[in-house]
Amino acid sequence: MKIMIVDDSPISRRSIRMELESGGYEVIEASSGEEALYMLEKASPDLVTMDVSMPGINGFETSRRIFNSLNGKLGSKRRFGKVPVVVITQVDNATARLEGFKSGVTDFLTKPFQQGKLRELVDYWLKPCKATMG
């Protein structure tokens, strides 16, 4: 399964990549919201991890555009709006969560996260039977 990491920090992308690859996931990276939107349809990820605080288009706006513009695209092999978007951020409060969920975000993970937590969350969304069985 393929996961797109969207984060402007090379250090964060590397950390996320290492965790996901250790779980057997294929990883592609985008360093901005604009780059993610450009790559999205061609890359066809099964899940997107998204930073919120990025220059240019922030993570919530990128998520909104993913959800709104690609959700009902006819003729596409996949309905992209159903691709889970997991926000990985230091900004985790009720206001941020509300804005995220309104923009189509599926879940949140707060930075810094413990080793294994991201993979556990990704497994939950991509392999729900395995995640619930233990």
Q: Specify the DSSP class assigned to residue 115.
A: T
Tokens of 81: 């709006």
Element (H, E) at 47: strand 47-50
Tell me if 56 is assigned to some domain: yes
**Residue 12: inside a domain, yes or no?**
yes
CB-CB neighbours of 122 under 10 Å: 25
pLDDT of residue 76: 43
pLDDT at 69: 64
Domain that holds residue 49: 2-126
Task: Give the chain's domain count.
Answer: 1
- Cross-strand partners of 50: 6, 87
Residue 103 lies in a domain: yes
Q: What is the pLDDT of residue 32?
A: 95
Specify if 36 maps to a domain: yes
Residue 133 lies in a domain: no
Task: Give the CATH number for residue 97.
Answer: 3.40.50.2300
Give, in order, the Cα–Cα distances in Å from 29 to each of 74, 87, 102. Answer: 26, 15, 24
Q: What does each of the 134 residues of the chain score in pLDDT, given as a tens digit?
A: 999 999 999 999 999 999 999 999 999 999 999 999 999 878 889 999 999 989 899 999 998 888 776 555 433 444 444 788 999 988 778 888 888 888 888 899 988 888 899 999 999 999 876 555 55
Q: What one-character DSSP code corresponds to residue 4?
A: E
